[in-house]
Amino acid sequence: MFRLRLAAWLAAGLSLLPACAGAAPVAIVAAENFYGDLAQQIGGRDVTVTSILQSPDQDPHLFEASPSTARSIATAQIVVQSGIGYDDWMAKLAQASRAGAPKLLVVAPLAARRDGDNPHIWYDPQTMLTYAAVLTERLAAADPAHAADFRKRLAGFQASMHPVLEKIAALRTQYSGTPVTATEPVFGYLMDAVGLRNRNAAFQVAVMNDTEPSASDLAAFEQSLQTRAVKLLVYNSQATDPLADRMKTVAQHSGVSVLAVTETEPQGMTYQSWMLDVLNKLQQALAK
- Kindly report, residue by residue over 105-131, the tens digit of the pLDDT: 999 999 999 999 999 999 999 999 999
- Dihedral sign for Cα 257, 262, 266, 270, please: positive
C-alpha to C-alpha distance for 221 and 230, rounded to whole angstroms: 10
Per-residue pLDDT reduced to its tens digit, 185-218: 999 999 999 999 999 999 998 888 888 899 999 9
Dihedral of the alpha carbons of 103, 33, 190, 155, in degrees to the nearest 10: 70
Residue range 31-45: mean pLDDT, rounded: 97
CA–CA separation, 110 vs 135, rounded Å? 11
* Residue 153, domain extent: 23-160
pTM of the model: 0.89
Run of H or E including 89: helix 88-96
Residue 44 in any domain: the answer is yes
CA distance 279 to 170: 10
Backbone angles phi, psi at 266, to 5 degrees: -60, 145
| Count of structural domains within the chain | 2
What pLDDT is recorded for position 96? 81
Is 115 in the same domain as 189?
no
Rounded to the nearest 10 degrees, the angle between the axes of helix 215-226 and helix 201-208 is 120
- Could you tell me how far CA 72 lies from the centroid of its own chain? 19
Instruction: Flag whether 15 is in a domain.
Output: no
Q: What is the CATH number of the domain that holds 130?
A: 3.40.50.1980
